[in-house]
Each structure stands twice: as C-alpha cells, then as structure tokens.
Structure 1
C-alpha cells in the first residue's frame, strides 16, 4: 500500500497548450450549447424545455440554427452542466454562470461532455447493448495508445487493440468470446457472429463519437488526439494516481464504509481521503451514493456525507439543492448551500429556522450517542440555540425527530446533574408515551 501512496502524478504531455488555450477550444466545441443555454436562462422558454415542439421552433428562429443543431446543442448543454432541469423547467447551471470568467469551469464542462461521448453519439440500435458496453469500457485503452503515439494512429492498429481488449473483458468475466466455438462430443461448430465486422463497426462508432465532442480528428485511415483529447487523457491518468494515494486505503470501499473509515480522522486527512475516493468515481454517481448514505438511519454518516460533498463543491450543487424538500436532509443541505455561496461556516447556522436548528441538534446528538463519548453528549447540550434546558426539551418534543427518545435517554444517563437528568428522563418518557 505504501508504494501506491507515493506514486507520482503524471506530467502533462509535452506540447500541451496552456489552460487558457484549452478553454478557448472547449468553448468553441460547446458554442451552440452555450447559446441555447443562455437563450433558456434568459426566460425565452418559461415553464418548458427547448425540446418541446413550440420551444424548439422558437429557439431555431431566434438563434438561427437548424432544429438538428438545437437538439444536439440542447443535449450537450445538459450533459456539460450548462442547464439544469427541474421537472419541465430548465434553468442556468452553475457552469453557465461561470462560463466567461472561469476557464476551469469550462474545462470541467468539456470533460463532462467527453465522458458522455457514447450518449452524444448513440450506437446503431442493431448492435447488442452488451457489445456497446464492452466497447465503451475498452475505449480508455484506445485513447491511451493514441496519446502514447503522440500522432496519427492507423485504424488497423486501433482495431487490433480494441479487439484484444474486448477479448480480455470476456476472459475476465469467464464469458465465451466472439466467434466460432468448438462444441463437445463431436458436435458441429457453434453458430457465430462476425467478430471482425462487429469490432470494426464498434471502432468506427467510438471514433466518430469521440470526434464529435472534439477529442480527436479523423483522417484517411487514421485518427489523432486533439489537444483537448490529449489533455483529457492526462487528466484521467492524474485522477487514477490521486486515487492511488488514498492515505487510509478506502478508495475501493462503498460510500458508507469509506465514511466510517474517515470518522476518527482529523479534518485534513479526512478531506484527503474524500478527494481520493471521489477521484476514483464519476462525480454524478459519487454524489448520488453519498446522498443515498445521508438518507440512511446513521446520523454520523449523514453529517460525514455532507462533509464529503463539500469536497465535491460546485458539481454537487444541483443534487444538494434538490434534497431541500427532504426534512431529514434539509438542515444539512441549507448549511452546505450557505457555505457554497460564500457564507462563513460560523455564520451559516443563521440560515436555519429554529425548528431546523433543533432537528439538526437532535440528529447530531444521535450521532454522538451512537459513536461518541458520553462527555461529548453533555458538551453538545451547550450548543443548543435554546437558552434553557426546559425550552430545549419543549422544542425537541415538537420537532418529532425519530431518535428523540434515544437521545434524551442517553443524555439523561450521561449528565452529572441529577436534577437535570431527571427532567430529561421525564421528557423522554413523555415523548415515548405521547404525553404532554
């Protein structure tokens, strides 16, 4: 494990343009998508998406683009994070707001598009989904060969590599490879697909898809990585190296196991662990997994999930905003959004209503009761926004947190003041029996 932690990150390939030039190229690839996103953000299509028939016609007329270019640009705007959908309503995404001033946001948007090349350019419907999935999984090796070659690579060389990688995937899964297979007991040869033809079609589709997002250029019988494509492959290699440097070795764990592994780390090492875990996953699936953990019963993991989401930053904003409607997650989401929008962490609590603050107090107390020391639970009493213990107990009963009884029982058992402990036990009994 130690050798993995010290693995150096790869250096950008020689001749890689500076970030400002790469961002200029990325803006050019996404020019139509940005125009469409801004048209939507300006309120030109209120209450509907541009793919609705009337909105599509208005967009084509207003932007002087063909309907096909509007559809393509719309898909790219969604995939690059330029527009967000809320039901049937579209609004500006965080990247669109930062588009003109933040080259990093532009490059991240293009990488999101690059990652979605197989959605931008769907495979022919007559190719089986399993074959398409295998080609997508094999494409990183094709891209690595293109980068290592530092120039044009012939289609036969790429075809050979893709075929080898697909065969390896079959072998790793203990599956029967493409092609005729001998049957036992003297039976005739099994019917077969045409592997060369299929692999050739998959390669053509992949190269066309990658070219459509600006990752490579196609010539007569060869392909070459574009500067953007060259840089993107380096970014992916860098992410793998960052993931390999996980200090606590949790990168291959589920979100819940990773968070538990970080529970006793100090903030700095915990953030390093979150970054390594996130670098090994697509950001969308990582955010979804963290929020799924936050919806669970363990209050400690709920709080830690939102700490990990702070490391994700802006790409998590739409998903965090969407959970504001979920009462157990709302206080955490409000604090996350307040800090994301620039509030000092010490002042962020002001965004919570009294009821939300009380709910959060009980949830945090539940985490301490389950995973912490009794002294911490007593100290936690001092953090309540209510000025007195009777007021706190009244409001705790009112918010209806599902762990209220357990928290009060644990607090009563831990508190050194007999009179206060008695009052807390009485409150726990009243909540348990539904009394006043």
Structure 2
C-alpha cells in the first residue's frame, strides 16, 4: 500500500490582520457599492441586467452624491458581490447586504466574490484580441503569487517579465509551435508559413497595466510609480486561494489537477458539502472565465450526469458566471438547467425554482435526469425517479415524454421498463419506447 504524500497548507502571511480588521477594510472598499445597493433595493424597480436608465442614474447620483459613472460601477459591483438580487425586473437586497453590518464572514465573502470577478469589473482595453486578454487573465494568479511571496513592493518590470513567461508557457502548453520550412519534425509536404507572432512587449505591458488597475479597483493591491504592492486584503485572499489548493491536493478526492469532466466525476459520489468544497478548490486554481467556459463545455456534452454536476459547480461560482449562463439559455439541452440556475441566482427558493420551467422544459429535464440515473445510478433510484415527474401519472408522463424530443428517450424508457416491478407499467414503457424508436413519437 502506498502512502499519498501531502503538502502542508501554507501559513497565513506574517502580519495578516485579524478577520475583524480585514472585514473593516472590505467594508471600506465596498462602501459606495453598498450605498448603491441599498438605494436600488429600496427603490424597488430595478433595471434587470441592463444598465440603469439615464433618469435612474441622475436620480441616484443626486441622492447618493456620487457621479453617474460611479453609480453605474457601483451597481455592477453590487451585483457581482452578491449585495443585490434580481427578481425579474425588481431588485431586492441580497443576504450579504442584509447581514453587512453584523456579519464579517458575509462581508469577506462579498469582497472575495468581487476579487474573483476583477476582469469583469475593469473592462479590457479596446482593440485587443479576446485570446490575448484570456491569456493575461490566466497568467494573473502567478503575478499575485509573486506579489504575495515578496511581502512588499514589486517592480513592474519584474511582474511584466513573469507575465510574459507565463503567456509563453501557455502557448507551449497548447502546442503553438510553428514549423519552419524544412525543419526537423515538420510533416511531409508542409508549406512555408510565417511563424505566429508572440504578443509583443508593448501588448504584454498594456495587459499588465490593465490587470493591475483592475486588481487595484477591487482593493487587492496598491499602485505606485514603478511598483505594485498587495493590500492586506489582497494578501489574505491569495493566501486563502493557496490554502484551498493545498487542502484539495491532500484531500481524499484530490481533483484539483483534473479537467472539469474528471473533477465532476470524482465528485459524483460525494455528499453536497464535500462536493462543494471540491468545486471551490478546483475553481480557486483557475481563472473564473476559463473555469466557467470549461464547465459549460462539459455541460454541452452527452453525459447527463456531468451536465447536472456542471451546473452545481457553477452555483459555487455565483455572480461571475451569470452572463455566460444567461447566454446558454437558448441552447436546448442546457436551457432547463440555465433557467433553474438563474432563478436561484435571482433569489428563488430551490424548491420553488422549478416553477420557471414550462411543462415541456420540465419533462425534458426529467428525461435528462433519468438518463443520468440510468447511466450512473441504481435501478431502484431510476424507478423512484418516476415520483418526481410533474405529470402525476405514468400514462400522462409517457405521453409527454414521447413528444418532448430528448435524444435519450428510447434508452430511458427501455431502462425503466427493465427496472419497474409492475409488469403492466413495464409493458407500457416498452410500447412507448418502440413507438418513439419507430417514429410514433419524436425521437
């Protein structure tokens, strides 16, 4: 039997203030955003996900004595920090806002949510390809780690050199190595091509400036001419991320280095609490945009179990995932999951969130969940899944399942027929499966 080697969790940085002091600093960073959140929630009629109207901006600016631009930024930051919840077109205070003055944990969680979403808070420079921006975002954790290890000011040229090295590593990891004409290893018949140009020093410098300004905007670091320094909040946040990574690396599940699909499968047998801990650790080791994109990529696949688990992991991401989740509502296989995610994000009780689904969407989701159980669960669980159908009776369920058009309908019905103890119901399921298979119902 081999013993798994573990790495010790990092110690808090020397001089880390107590949580009460960190929470005080977080309250200062978010003070204007909290005022905007209170104003929007008290006003009642919010703008949904669109920017505030010009009239709203002017009114809020006058009442709060802020500039219209600061009100707009405060609205965006309040949503990302979970200070407000959207219920249709109505804005309500989030639980963090309600607990703001008495719960330090709520304050720190709100600030960390904003810290994780720094690249959404600070708009990237115009005219730069999205790939270059994504690479810079992916390189930022290394920049933050260097700042944290240095425990003081770090010259910007040093950070620029690290950013450039990390971007080059990302290119290498993606095998972006062009063949020169006649080079050893070039495939036969390779035509001479100009090598792909690496991002210029000027581009890297521009992206580094953008990243540092974005992190400064959320209170993670301070900028002085020629150098950057982590704030106590930023220092603490980087330490928390490192601790999560180390704990995950020495946990029984240890899915930190797995791609999304492997991580989700590794969490499939865990109870909700440990699964969420694994999701948080996996997310902490990645940038939010790349993690969300990877999870949604898995959700688009054929494995229904992974689809459901991917959206569970996206619930841990929270506000930063909202634009991407909203964008996949039009995707037929993701629509029910996305609608439920958005309903819960906007404050609906999980037990009531199903009400946002149409009858057809609820039936489609029932078949998809049944497919996950058939592929990965026990036969008894598949039979019990019948009780969760909105139709109430098996004949009504079979009628609507035949028409819903899920690609796994036949397999689900056959699996149910094989598992069900009632011969008459099993026969009806086999008949329905045959009808769908032969064109008597939409496949």
Q: Same fold (TM over 0.5)?
A: yes
Instruction: Spell out the pairing of 1:244-323 with structure 2 (5 A cutoff).
Output: 244-245=249-250, 247-248=252-253, 250-263=255-268, 270=275, 273-282=278-287, 286=291, 289-290=294-295, 293-294=298-299, 297-308=302-313, 312=316
Q: How many Å separate the matches in 1 of 2:209 and 2:41?
A: 36
What is aligned with 2:189?
none
Within the candidate set 368, 372, 388, 2:373 is matched to 368
What is aligned with 1:212?
217
Question: What do the CA deviations read for 1:220-257 (whole angstroms, capped 9, x no partner)?
Answer: 65543221121122122223324434644544444334
TM-score, with length taken from structure 1 = 0.70
The Cα shift of 1:129 comes to: 7.1
Contact kept in structure 2, 1:247 and 1:273, CA below 8 Å = no
Partner SS state of residue 373, structure 2: helix
Matched, 1:393 2:391: no
Farther off after superposition, 269-278 or 350-359: 350-359
Contact kept in structure 1, 2:241 and 2:285, CA below 8 Å = no
Q: How many Å separate the matches in 2 of 1:131 and 1:342?
A: 37
Contact kept in structure 2, 1:321 and 1:337, CA below 8 Å = no
Question: What do the CA deviations read for 1:353-392 (whole angstroms, capped 9, x no partner)?
Answer: 99688766544433333344556545656777888xxx41
Inter-CA distance 114–424: structure 2 relative to 1 (3 Å threshold):
closer
Partner SS state of residue 151, structure 1: coil
What is aligned with 1:173?
171
What is aligned with 1:16?
16
Question: What do the CA deviations read for 1:163-185 (whole angstroms, capped 9, x no partner)?
Answer: 2541453366359xxxxxxxxxx
The Cα shift of 1:19 comes to: 1.7
TM-score, with length taken from structure 2 = 0.69
Q: How many Å separate the matches in 1 of 2:321 and 2:211?
A: 31
Contact kept in structure 1, 2:82 and 2:94, CA below 8 Å = yes
Q: How many Å separate the matches in 2 of 1:379 and 1:118?
A: 44
Partner SS state of residue 224, structure 1: strand
Q: How many Å separate the matches in 2 of 1:269 and 1:100?
A: 30
Partner SS state of residue 42, structure 1: helix
Contact kept in structure 1, 2:245 and 2:256, CA below 8 Å = no
Farther off after superposition, 399-408 or 16-25: 399-408
Partner SS state of residue 229, structure 2: strand
The Cα shift of 1:9 comes to: 2.0
Inter-CA distance 33–3: structure 2 relative to 1 (3 Å threshold):
farther
Partner SS state of residue 281, structure 1: coil
Farther off after superposition, 3-12 or 426-435: 426-435
What is aligned with 2:161?
163
What is aligned with 1:61?
62
Q: How many Å separate the matches in 1 of 2:135 and 2:308?
A: 37
Higher normalized contact order (CA 8 Å, seq sep 6+, divided by chain length): 2
Instruction: Spell out the pairing of 1:190-209 with structure 2 (5 A cutoff).
Output: 195=201, 206-209=211-214
The Cα shift of 1:295 comes to: 5.8
Inter-CA distance 12–61: structure 2 relative to 1 (3 Å threshold):
same
RMSD of aligned alpha carbons:
5.0
The Cα shift of 1:87 comes to: 8.8
Inter-CA distance 339–315: structure 2 relative to 1 (3 Å threshold):
closer
Inter-CA distance 315–243: structure 2 relative to 1 (3 Å threshold):
farther
Q: How many Å separate the matches in 2 of 1:56 and 1:28?
A: 23
What is aligned with 2:33?
33
Instruction: Spell out the pairing of 1:402-421 with structure 2 (5 A cutoff).
Output: 402=406, 403-415=408-420, 418-421=423-426
Structure 2 spans left out of the alignment, 5+ residues: 174-196
Q: How many Å separate the matches in 2 of 1:200 and 1:317?
A: 28
The Cα shift of 1:317 comes to: 9.8
Q: How many Å separate the matches in 1 of 2:45 and 2:24?
A: 28
Partner SS state of residue 236, structure 2: helix
Q: How many Å separate the matches in 2 of 1:193 and 1:168?
A: 12
Contact kept in structure 2, 1:7 and 1:241, CA below 8 Å = yes
Q: How many Å separate the matches in 1 of 2:101 and 2:302?
A: 42
Contact kept in structure 2, 1:247 and 1:272, CA below 8 Å = no
Contact kept in structure 2, 1:303 and 1:332, CA below 8 Å = no
Inter-CA distance 287–86: structure 2 relative to 1 (3 Å threshold):
farther
Contact kept in structure 1, 2:34 and 2:97, CA below 8 Å = yes
Larger radius of gyration: 1
Q: How many Å separate the matches in 1 of 2:45 and 2:424?
A: 63
Question: What do the CA deviations read for 1:255-312 (whole angstroms, capped 9, x no partner)?
Answer: 33433344456767655544443333345664565466456554333444455456x2
Structure 1 spans left out of the alignment, 5+ residues: 176-190
The Cα shift of 1:25 comes to: 1.0
